[in-house]
Each structure stands twice: as C-alpha cells, then as structure tokens.
C-alpha cells in the first residue's frame, strides 16, 4: 500500500521546503518534484555578512507559499544573516 501511495504522489508536482546551515550560511530552499525530478528550485543562501531586508524576507515568503509560524521563520531567517 505504501508503494502505491508513493507512485500516486509521483504523478503530482508537489512542493518541498527545507532549511539548513552549510559553511556558516543559512539556506532556505523551496523546490518542486515531479516523477522523481526536481525543478523550479529556489535556494536563498544567507551568509553572516549579508545584509537582508524585510523586503527580501517577504519575497521569500510569497515565493515559497509558506503557511505556518512566520515569527519562528523570521527569527531563523534574520539570525542566519547575523542580525
């Protein structure tokens, strides 16, 4: 049954989101996957020296379609930028 669900999910272009730290940069990544292939990849890398703005953050939110605790994401987003 699990395998059947996996195959059905492959037929839909689903959106995935993640956040990770690599080499003192915080990455926020949003991508779509269809038939096991990634496309429409949007990766924002924020280094400790990057100056980010509220406008950058709002752009990321609108693109990613994020629905959830915006304040926690905001604090992680700006903490990654060294604020």
State yes or no: pLDDT of 58 exceeds 60: yes
Reading the block at residue 63, the tokens are 């693109």
Residues 42-62 have a mean pLDDT of 72
The arithmetic mean of pLDDT across residues 48-70, rounded, is: 67
CB 73 within 8 A of CB 56: no
- The yes-or-no verdict on residue 56 having pLDDT over 80 is no
The total of other beta-carbon atoms located within 10 Å of residue 25's CB is 16
């Amino acid at each position: 049954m699990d395998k059947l669900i996996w195959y059905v999910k492959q037929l839909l272009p689903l959106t995935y989101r993640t956040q990770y730290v690599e080499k003192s940069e915080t990455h926020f990544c949003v991508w779509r996957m269809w038939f096991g292939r990634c496309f429409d990849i949007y990766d924002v890398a924020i280094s400790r020296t990057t100056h980010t703005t509220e406008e950058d953050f709002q752009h990321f939110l609108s693109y990613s379609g994020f629905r959830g605790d915006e304040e926690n994401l905001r604090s992680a987003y700006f903490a990654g930028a060294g604020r």
